[in-house]
Each structure stands twice: as structure tokens, then as C-alpha cells.
Structure 1
């Protein structure tokens, strides 16, 4: 197994631990409101697996458009479900699930942005 194959499980474990802590902060009485201003939970169905997944992400919202800048996109896979024509997604903020349609784009520098058009 190459070095990349050895690193991925470690990165996956670190990411899972980090996500658990973020979710705890997001739901805490003390820090929840502050964290929820920048962190949402996206829920989607995997294109190949058909399984439902949820993961916390940072976001920016402008009206009915939400922008997610994917950090370390080559390590993460969730955004790949929204390449091409994109697909359905829901985001949890303001205490409510908001359905929408997400499209992922990679720029010429390798940065990935997922743009979500919220359903009206």
C-alpha cells in the first residue's frame, strides 16, 4: 500500500473526530448559536451507494443561495455527489431543514465550491 493509502484512513479518523466535536459545539447551549451562524449540517444521498449521509460544513448564505467552500477537497468525497448537473441536498439552519439543489465546481486552482439553490 502506498503512502497515500496509509494516510487516508488516518485523515478519515481525524475528520470523523473533528466532525463529532463540531456537532457537539453546534448543539451546545453555550456555543450553539455562535457556531450555527457559520456551520450547517448537509444531508444527501450518495449517488452510488444510495445511502443517506450527513456532515457538518461551513457555509455562507445570501438569500436563497448557500455557498460552501470545500476545504481539502482531494481528501473529502461528499462534494463529488454534486458534480455535473448536481443533485438534491438539505441543509439544517435556523432550526429547520432546508431542501435545495447543489452543484459542485472545481476551479483551475483546484478549489471546490458547492453552490446550493434553496427551494422556495
Structure 2
């Protein structure tokens, strides 16, 4: 059974805060940062800047983000079509890139970032 509709904002904020603390942990942060990063982007319609934690994989200068429950989230839609600019922290350095979101035939969404 899939989840549709927006996620409760209070729950999202709590989870994001916990992830942020885990990434900064002196004891566990280096392990968490291997798989979790914070992406920062500007909303296409709002013009506001957003930062959210996401799981990622990296191969060279290509970062792949698998969007879990994509129908309940909207952030990835900023990168549909031709995509757009994004920044993320990799190897403890803020990097810029160009992100493009694609939905496959099964409804899964992947955001691919080419680092610059």
C-alpha cells in the first residue's frame, strides 16, 4: 500500500532535525555523512531557499538521490524537465551542481546531480 498526499509538516521537521543532529555528531557524524547529505535549492515558484536532508550515492562527480514516497514530497519537482541548480555537501565540502529528476515506469523518482 502506497502513501499519497503531503506528509505532516511537524513530523517532517522532527525527522529532519534528528538527521541534522546525527550528521553533526562528533562520534557518528562521519558515518552518517557517507550516506546522508543536505541539499539546498531555490523553489521554482516561490523563489525561497530550502535545505533538506536526503540519502545519496556518489560515483565520481555524479550524485544519485532516490526519492522515497515521491508522491508525498514536492521538492524533487523543482528538478523535473531540464532540471536546475542545486548544492549539497559531499566530503565535508559544499558543492554545486545541476540536478535532473526522472520518474520511471514504476513511479520511482531519481534525482541525478552532476557536480560542477
Equivalent in 53, 60, 63 of residue 63 of structure 1: 60
1:50 corresponds in structure 2 to 47
- Runs of 4+ that moved beyond 3 A: none
Larger radius of gyration: 1
RCO (CA 8 Å, sep 6+): is it higher in 1 or 2? 2
Aligned length: 113
Q: 2:112 aligned with 1:111, yes or no?
A: no
Q: 2:83 aligned with 1:91, yes or no?
A: no
TM-score between the two structures when normalised by the length of structure 1: 0.90
Equivalent in 98, 101, 105 of residue 101 of structure 1: 98
Root-mean-square deviation over aligned CA pairs: 1.3
2:77 corresponds in structure 1 to 80
1:39 corresponds in structure 2 to 36
1:8 Cα offset (Å): 3.5
Q: Unpaired segments of 5 or more residues in structure 2?
A: none
Contact kept in structure 1, 2:6 and 2:73, CA below 8 Å: no
